[in-house]
Amino acid sequence: MYYTCYYLISALFAKNDIKTSTHSGVKTVFGSGFIKKEKVDVKWGKLFNELFEKRQHEDYGDFVILSEEEIFPLMQEVEEFMNIVEKMNQV
């Protein structure tokens, strides 16, 4: 789910000629260039931050197990975010 959002945001950046080279850079620029400027609702910044943190823990933590109850609502939010970004990229 993190990578889905990461690549959706990267598509927004490409459309707007924004370049970043790190995952933290994507997170930072998304916050400053889209969330703070109210191009995207703060809800999606919070979702991306949550997924970023989960990815960090899953990739670098020991024995991280996420429950279905924790994952399913996030999947629904990611799908909604995908629809929003697709509409933004069509404009």
pLDDT at 56: 84
Is residue 58 very low, low, confident or very high in pLDDT (cuts 50, 70, 90)?
A: confident
User: Tell me: the pLDDT tens digits for 5-39?
Assistant: 999 999 999 999 999 999 999 999 999 999 999 99
Task: Measure the CA–CA gap between 23 and 61, rounded to whole angstroms.
Answer: 17
Between CA 26 and CA 8 the distance in angstroms is 11
| Domain span holding position 15 | 2-90
Q: Give the C-alpha separation, 61 to 36, whole Å.
A: 31
79: its two tokens: 């799908």
Quick one: how far is CA 77 from the chain centroid? 10
Q: How many domains does the chain have?
A: 1
Mean per-residue pLDDT over the chain, rounded: 92
* pLDDT value at residue 50: 93
Q: Residue 31 corresponds to which tokens in the numbers above? A: 């916050």
Residue carrying the six token digits 């919070």? 46
Q: Does the structure show a pLDDT above 90 at 60?
A: no
